[in-house]
C-alpha cells in the first residue's frame, strides 16, 4: 500500500497553493497524454480512488486500502490526449457527502467556511478553480452531482456500466451503485470528453414536445432552491417542453443496507484491525455494514428491484426528469442538520434522498448550475439514453 499523504505534503510544484486541501497528490510533472489525440491540450485531475501506476492511492483515509490495479478510464483518457496532473481528495473512502476525510477535509472553492460537497469534493474544487479542464469523480449516491452543484460546476453520472466510463481499476465503495464520470466548468467540455471516449457525436436535442417530469418533493428543499428549479423548468417550457409533476419515493431503505454491506466487504481487511484508522463516523457506518444480516441485504435488493420497476414506469411516461441536486446552498463546515420546510433534517439524509434514486437504479443524470448560485438542478433520463440527455443539456443552455 502507498504511503499516506497529508495536505501539507509537497505537491510537486513549489509555487502551487492548495488552501482548500483539494489535492491528495501532484507529481513533479503531469502524465502527458498523446499529443495527437482528440483531447490533446486538456488537463484532468483524478479522484484518489483510481489506480494510476506510479502514483499513491489512499482514498483520503489513514486506514489501509487495497490496490485496485490501474484504471482503464485513466489510461484511455491519456491515450486520447488528455494529461493527468494529479489526484484529488475525497470524502473518506467515498462514504459521505461533505468532503470530510483523514487529511483535514476539503473546503469550498470560494467560501472557505462552507462545504464543497462530496465525495468528489476535491474534483469539483479543481475544476471550479480552473486548475484543470475536467476532473474524474465517482458517484455512488450523489458523489459527482452534489459537489458539482455546491461548487457551481457541471457533473455527469453516466448509465451504470456504460462502456465508455469504466470503473475497472477504481477502489469500490459499492459495486451495485458505483459510477465513474466527469466534472467540468461547462457542459461543452463534458461532452467533448464523452465524444472522445465513445467515438460518437452528441447532437443538441430540441426541447419542443419533450415530456419533462418535475420532481420537487414537498418539504425536501429550501424555498430558494425550489424557485430555482422551477425557473429552470420554465426555461425548458419556453423551448417547447411539456412539464408535469412526478413523485418518487425515498429509496434510502434499499440504498443504505446495500452500500454499507458492500463497503464493509471492500474494507474487511482494515476492519480486522483493533484501530483501523478510519474517522469515527466512517468507522461507525462500516461497522453497521458488518452487522447487517444476509436477510436484511437481500430484502434491500428486493426493494431496489421494486423501485427500479417504478422508476422505469415513470420514465416510460416522461422523456426526462428534472429535480434538485441539493436541498440548500452549501452549508457551513461542521453543520450536521439543516432547516427545511418539512422540518429539521440530518444533512446526510436530506442530500442523499434527492440523489440516491438515480445511482441506486443506474440511470444517467446530469447536474447543471441554476440561477441560484451553488444549488444545481439535475436532468435524468432512462438507462442508455446518455447521448440524448447530454444533447438536451446542450440545447437547454442555449
Residues tagged active-site: 47, 119, 143
- Tell the residue number behind the cell numbers 441554476, with chain if given: 370
The runs of H, that is alpha helices, within the chain are 72-79, 121-128, 145-151, 187-198, 223-238, 252-266, 268-271, 280-291, 294-317, 347-360, 386-396
Closest CA to 239 of 320, 156, 323, 326: 320
Extract the C-alpha cell encoding 25.
497528490
Give backbone dihedrals phi and psi of 147, rounded to 5 degrees, phi first. -65, -30
Give backbone dihedrals phi and psi of 349, rounded to 5 degrees, phi first. -65, -40
For the beta sheet containing 365-368, the strands, ordered from the edge strand earlier in sequence to the opposite edge, are: 23-25, 83-88, 43-47, 134-139, 179-184, 154-157, 365-368, 377-380, 320-324, 211-214, 242-245
Buried b (16+ CB within 10 A) or exposed e, 36-59: ebbbeebbbbbbbbbbbeebebbb
Greatest pairwise CA separation for the chain in angstroms:
60
Closest CA to 191 of 396, 398, 393, 397: 393
- Number of Cβ atoms within 10 Å of the Cβ of 128: 25
Extract the C-alpha cell encoding 85.
496532473
CA torsion, ordered 390, 391, 396, 398, to nearest 10 deg = 120
Residues 384, 382: Cα–Cα separation, whole Å: 6
The rounded radius of gyration (Å) of the Cα atoms in the chain is 20
Residues 92, 7: Cα–Cα separation, whole Å: 14
Cβ atoms 148, 142 nearer than 8 A: no
Decide: residue 29, CB within 10 A, 0-12 exposed, 13-18 middle, 19+ buried: exposed
Give backbone dihedrals phi and psi of 192, rounded to 5 degrees, phi first. -60, -45
Amino acid at each position: 500500500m502507498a504511503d499516506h499523504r497529508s495536505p501539507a505534503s509537497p505537491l510537486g510544484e513549489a509555487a502551487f497553493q492548495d488552501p482548500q486541501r483539494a489535492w491528495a497528490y501532484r507529481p513533479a510533472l503531469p502524465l502527458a497524454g498523446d499529443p495527437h489525440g482528440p483531447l490533446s491540450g486538456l488537463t484532468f485531475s483524478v479522484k484518489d480512488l483510481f489506480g494510476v501506476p506510479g502514483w499513491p492511492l489512499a482514498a483520503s483515509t489513514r486506514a489501509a486500502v487495497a490496490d485496485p490495479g490501474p484504471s482503464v478510464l485513466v489510461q484511455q483518457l491519456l491515450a486520447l490526449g488528455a494529461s493527468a496532473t494529479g489526484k484529488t481528495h475525497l470524502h473518506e473512502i467515498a462514504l459521505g457527502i461533505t468532503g470530510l476525510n483523514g487529511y483535514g477535509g476539503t473546503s469550498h472553492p470560494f467560501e472557505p467556511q462552507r462545504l464543497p460537497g462530496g465525495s468528489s469534493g476535491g474534483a469539483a474544487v479543481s475544476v471550479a478553480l480552473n486548475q484543470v479542464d475536467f476532473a474524474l469523480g465517482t458517484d455512488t449516491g450523489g458523489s459527482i452531482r452534489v459537489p458539482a452543484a455546491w461548487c457551481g460546476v457541471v457533473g455527469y453520472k453516466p448509465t451504470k456500466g456504460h462502456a465508455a466510463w469504466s470503473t475497472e481499476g477504481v477502489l469500490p465503495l459499492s459495486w451495485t451503485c458505483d459510477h465513474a464520470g466527469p466534472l467540468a466548468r461547462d457542459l461543452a467540455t463534458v461532452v467533448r470528453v464523452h465524444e472522445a471516449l465513445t467515438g460518437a457525436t452528441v447532437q443538441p436535442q430540441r426541447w419542443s414536445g419533450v415530456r419533462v417530469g418535475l420532481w420537487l418533493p414537498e418539504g425536501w428543499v429550501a424555498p430558494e432552491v425550489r424557485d430555482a428549479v422551477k425557473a429552470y423548468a420554465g426555461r425548458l417550457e419556453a423551448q417547447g417542453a411539456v412539464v408535469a409533476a412526478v413523485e418518487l419515493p425515498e429509496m434510502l431503505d434499499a440504498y443504505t443496507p446495500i452500500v454499507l454491506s458492500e463497503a464493509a466487504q471492500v474494507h474487511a481487511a482494515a476492519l480486522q484491525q483493533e484501530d483501523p484508522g478510519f474517522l469515527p463516523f466512517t468507522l461507525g457506518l462500516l461497522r453497521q455494514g458488518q452487522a447487517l444480516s444476509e436477510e436484511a441485504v437481500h430484502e434491500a435488493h428486493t426493494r431496489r428491484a421494486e423501485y427500479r420497476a417504478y422508476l422505469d414506469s415513470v420514465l416510460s411516461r416522461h422523456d426526462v426528469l428534472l429535480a434538485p441536486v441539493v436541498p440548500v446552498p452549501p452549508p457551513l463546515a461542521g453543520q450536521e442538520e439543516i432547516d427545511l420546510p418539512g422540518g429539521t433534517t440530518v444533512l446526510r439524509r436530506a442530500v442523499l434522498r434527492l440523489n440516491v434514486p438515480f445511482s441506486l437504479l443506474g440511470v444517467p443524470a446530469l447536474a447543471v448550475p441554476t440561477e441560484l448560485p451553488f444549488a444545481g438542478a439535475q436532468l435524468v433520463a432512462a438507462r442508455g439514453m446518455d447521448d440524448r440527455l447530454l444533447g438536451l443539456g446542450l440545447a437547454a443552455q442555449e
